[in-house]
Amino acid sequence: MNEKFMKIALEESKNANCAKVKVGAVIVLNKSILGKGNNSVPKGCMPCTLDTCLRKNIV
């Protein structure tokens, strides 16, 4: 069952628009998905590039 949710999180990470690293997440309770998301920039903001990324200096 965990593999199913991990695959969904991996697919969600592909929608992230972070230039440094793409992350997907799934919140599960009693084998039901409550929510899912990724680390994209807020709506209305321009996605950064590797040159302009504020996270690039964070290890």
Tens-level pLDDT at each residue, the chain (59 residues): 799 999 999 999 999 988 888 999 999 999 999 999 998 888 888 887 878 777 666 65
pTM for the complete prediction?
A: 0.75
d(CA 22, CA 38) in angstroms, rounded, equals: 7
Contact 32, 7 (CB under 8 A): no
Residue 26: strand pairing partners: 36
Enclosing domain of residue 54: 1-59
Six-digit token string for 33? 């998905």
d(CA 21, CA 17) in angstroms, rounded, equals: 9
- pLDDT, residue 6, reads 97
Domain total in the chain: 1
**With left for phi above 0 and alpha for psi between -120 and 50, is residue 30 left, alpha or beta?**
left
- pLDDT, residue 48, reads 79
